[in-house]
Structure 1
Amino acid sequence: MTPPQVRTWSQRGRTPVVRVRGRSRRRISIAALTCYKPGHRPRLIYRPRRDNGRRDGRKSFSRRGYRDLLIAAHQQLDGPIVPVRDNLNAHKAAGLREFAEAKNWLTIYHLPPYAPGLNPVKEIWSPLRRGRLSHLAFSTPEHLVQRIRRGLRHIQYRSDLIDGRLAETGLTIRPTQATERHHEFNLSSDH
């Protein structure tokens, strides 16, 4: 809810001022998956989570939130998924690991420690911030969530944008032989 500071042009001596109501420290967290399958258009699946503002409440996604996102992705994609995750603590939580082991449609791989350049989802936030969220003062958390959803929906329909985020990482997807469990895809670097 705290607006970003940006530079702009104006007449000399007339600094533009944007008034912001209710400067809030509450935040919106977003978990997302970019989904790639050879021969199909890439997909973006996401879930926003609002901070409820309570002192004892969690401000970000828990392992349960990530689990629910994986379940939603499995239902939307109608098939097995192989997420490649960064090393966020919630991604490596014991409960999430146990959940993955119990599901035959889910195999989780982790990126090397501190490799943000290999995560295509990290690159999705930049066009969102520069596009639909820039130069706006949000009046309520609901207004912010509405704009985030609208911006991500716009990105969802831009296959070239999602493909470009994978290309920026230098990774490619190559299908391997099918196993009894599911089709596996190797994420391999061109470097």
Structure 2
Amino acid sequence: MLLRRGRPGEVKGFGPWRFAALLDAAHRQLGGPIVLVWDNDRRHLSAVMRALIEARPWLAVFKLPVYAPKLNPAEGVWSALKRALANLAPRGIDELAETVATKLKRMQYRSSLLDGFIAQTGFILEQP
């Protein structure tokens, strides 16, 4: 696997329109309301993104406090990944990227591990 560095002039990242399209597709597939928990990334706070959110009555967005690693399940993922990479001495960026991708893919199929990351936040996993 080679690290994808993008083409010159190609947009890097996920813009608001592409993210809105992803949410619309998820809404169509799931057939119900979506609850989104976001950190304070500047892309999440833009006027365009706010307008796109407001246009979707089936979407509820909750923002985490400015610094709240204990409330963010992704922090558990990154912590576990860093532990898994602790003694790695990659020969280059491509090897590092391949190893990271493999370890994240393995985590993806361990639902109990992912449930644990959510449980660490204190969020409720079942509907009340």
TM-score, normalised via structure 1 length = 0.51
Deviations 1:139-158 (A, max 9, x none): 344x4443332212111111
**Are residue 148 (structure 1) and residue 96 (structure 2) matched?**
no
Alignment root-mean-square deviation, CA: 3.4
Q: Tell me, which stretches of 5 or more residues in structure 2 are unaligned? A: none
Which residue of the other structure, out of 53, 57, 60, is the alignment partner of 1:107? Answer: 60
Task: Work out which of the residue numbers 106, 109, 116 in structure 2 matches 1:164.
Answer: 116
d(CA) in 2 for partners of 1:92, 1:162:
27
Counterpart of 1:97 in structure 2 is 50
- Please tell me whether Structure 1 or Structure 2 has the larger radius of gyration of its CA atoms: 1
Shift of 1:121: 1.3
More strand by percentage? 1
- The percent of aligned pairs where both chains have the same amino acid is 35
Q: TM-score, normalised by structure 2?
A: 0.70
2:71 is matched with: 118
Tell me if structure 1 keeps the 8 A contact 2:76–2:117: yes
1:159 deviates by 1.2
Aligned residues: 125
**How far apart are 1:52 and its partner, in Å?**
4.1
- Post-superposition Cα deviations, 1:134-177, rounded to whole Å, max 9, x if no partner, equal 50315344x4443332212111111111111112112224536x
RCO (CA 8 Å, sep 6+): is it higher in 1 or 2? 2
Aligned counterparts of 1:94 and 1:127: Cα–Cα separation in 2 = 34
Q: Which runs of 5+ in 1 are unaligned?
A: 1-27, 29-49, 177-191
